[in-house]
Amino acid sequence: MKEQSHIKRIAIFGSTGSIGTQALEVIAAHNDQFSAEILTANTNADLLIQQALEFQPNIVVIGDEKKYTAVKDALASTDTKVFAGQSALEEVAAMDCYDLMLAAIVGYAGLKPTLKAIETGKIIALANKETLVVAGDIIMRKAVEYKVPIIPVDSEHSAIFQCLVGETRNKIEKIILTASGGPFIGRKPNYLVNVKREHALQHPNWNMGVKISIDSATLMNKGLEMIEAKWLFNLSPQQVEVVIHPQSIIHSMVQFEDGSVKAQLGLPDMKLPIQYALAFPKRIKNDFPRMDFNKINTLTFEEPDVKTFRNLMLAWEALNKSGNMPCIMNAANEIAVYAFLRNRINFLDMTDVIEQTMATVPFIEQPTLEEYFESDGEARNFAADLIKL
């Protein structure tokens, strides 16, 4: 089966996460079109084993080396090869047993395997927005050099990508990224200072991994997405706009030079953009719930409250400054989010940590890849020292 050329062989990096598990549902529903060739997890060995037994991939990688023996033993009676450790992620990404990488690792950790996949000519379905935030110039340059398509999975960017199909000759005036506003829409700092992890993890419309859920509550997620959009669609900062749209039905919009606006709509379900990215340029029939316009009676829009949700302003600054500033911001944000999740700092402290890190770590206008790695490390150390981790 797997050798047949019409089957797209998929490597899911981060298969045990929110995106990864939903991608496996898509693959299971369309096993005449896709096979799961590589699956990787960081620490969740039990789920990785379960997935391997069900999907019989060629290779699995467990990031946590202490769990290697458990995974190896559990899969001893299968043909699946087992690897462990961070460097194995890069080695496996370079192998030629697959066609498309779904980059669904969360955070900076996704950057290096994705780079390897690009350098070995794989199609990239990109969920991991942090990869473009950290080193978007290098990633996009390499994608051109190796003639690799980068198809966005993030719902907003998938929407814009879909709006741009057939518009290659037409100039974009601006894009409008929609944001749900997260669980704390309309709240003010005196409320936010007391919110706890459990509260912040309750997203009104989407069920996602913990890091992106906190990023959605602080609006950093939209900040990261502005930078992601700049690189994916080759835009200037002035061409990127954010509007709050609490219903999450319009996933984003493109305004062309003639003033016409195209939008992509759908129920909030990540399986749709995941399926679109895996199957592109085809659309595949599925049984996902359909929208009923008789039941959606209001779609509303408002300006983001950037005085309260200051992360969006910081991201705007990073977007404008460019160079290594988005990389510094991303690193500080990762440290701050995990400190908040462990109840070490409060909700508003996250912004202060990011702001101070951005003001301190040396700015580099045109960093090399090595310099991005160094800036990431410096920013992490500085932010961790601030929090006294």
* Interface residue list for ligand NAD (CB under 6 A): 14-20, 41-42, 44, 63, 104-106, 109, 127-130, 154, 206, 208-212, 270
Q: Choose from ligand NAD, Mg ion, none: what does 212 bind? Cβ within 5-8 Å by kind.
A: ligand NAD
Question: How many residues line the site for Mg ion (CB under 5 A)?
Answer: 3
Cβ 314 vs Cβ 358: under 8 Å: yes
Long-range contacts, stretch 361-366, CB < 8 angstroms, 24+ apart: 361/324, 361/328, 363/321, 363/323, 363/324, 363/325, 364/323, 364/324, 365/322, 365/323, 366/323
State the minimum distance, in angstroms, from the CB of residue 18 to Mg ion: 12
Instruction: Considering only residues 125 through 164, tell me which ones interact with Mg ion, judged by CB under 5 A.
Output: 154-156
Helix axes 311-321, 220-233, angle to 10 degrees: 30
Is 334 a residue that touches Mg ion (CB under 5 A)? no
State the minimum distance, in angstroms, from the CB of residue 372 to ligand NAD: 17
Give whichever of 201 and 364 is closer to ligand NAD, judged by the CB atom: 201
State the minimum distance, in angstroms, from the CB of residue 252 to ligand NAD: 12
Give whichever of 259 and 289 is closer to ligand NAD, judged by the CB atom: 289
Give whichever of 183 and 363 is closer to ligand NAD, judged by the CB atom: 183
Give whichever of 228 and 376 is closer to Mg ion, judged by the CB atom: 228
Give whichever of 89 and 132 is closer to Mg ion, judged by the CB atom: 132
State the minimum distance, in angstroms, from the CB of residue 16 to ligand NAD: 4
* Chain residue at closest Cβ approach to ligand NAD: 17
Positions that interact with Mg ion (CB under 5 A):
154-156
